[in-house]
Amino acid sequence: MSQDPGQQQVRRVEQLGELIIHSVDDGFDPELVSQILGLTPARSYRRGERSRGGRIRDWSAWCWQTPQLVEVDSEVLVALVLDRFEAVSERLRDVRSRWDVTVQVGLVVHCYGTMQSEGDKGVWADVPSPSLSFESGTVGRLAALDVSLDIDQYVSVPD
């Protein structure tokens, strides 16, 4: 089966990495977190605020993100986050000492593909998938920073 040259560009994996600090502590202050870390978050909010959808938030959050990259190797994005936050690990410890927080490295994976059909074989989604494998050194770096790893994967095909 030959593929339309334009479809080749549709098949891709885009990923971004993030570090998210969550807290149910009523005193959690995202602006102070930014000052302590010396970093600007991609987004932040406080417990009790309304989300864009109108829901009352049950927790506060501060989230820093990498740019979204066309990349199949997820370890690349995790390493970018680790590189950034290992450099401010003492400041991150300060944040942990001030509030009851959980800290996680997030990986947001968007897989884009096409719908394919071939005679009697039926219809299927032709979507690339990323490499979700991490070297022991990367796992050790996550542990040393005392962060969990959360992976969210989304698959999209055109209508």
Q: Are 10 and 111 in contact (CB under 8 A)?
A: no
Say which range, 31-40, 75-84, 103-112, 122-131, has the weakest mean pLDDT: 122-131
pTM of the model: 0.85
Burial 5-39 (b: 16+ CB within 10 A, else e): eeeeebeebbbbbbbbbbbeeeebbbeebeeebeb
Check pLDDT > 90 for residue 16: yes
- Residues spanned by the domain of 106: 10-46+58-156
pLDDT for res 24: 92
Question: What is the per-residue pLDDT for 94?
Answer: 97
Flag whether 4 is in a domain. Answer: no
SS3 59: coil
Confidence band, pLDDT 50/70/90 cuts, at residue 5: very low
- Is residue 125 a part of any domain in this protein? yes
Give the pLDDT confidence score for residue 114 in this predicted structure.
87
Region 122-129: what's the mean pLDDT? 82
Q: Is residue 90 part of a domain?
A: yes
Is residue 25 a part of any domain in this protein? yes
- 52 within a domain of the structure (yes/no): no
Mean pLDDT of 121-136: 85
C-alpha count within 13 angstroms, C-beta hemisphere, residue 14:
13
User: Average pLDDT, whole number, for the chain?
Assistant: 90
Domain-located, residue 120 = yes
Per the structure, the count of domains in the chain is 1
Task: Answer yes or no: is 53 within a domain.
Answer: no
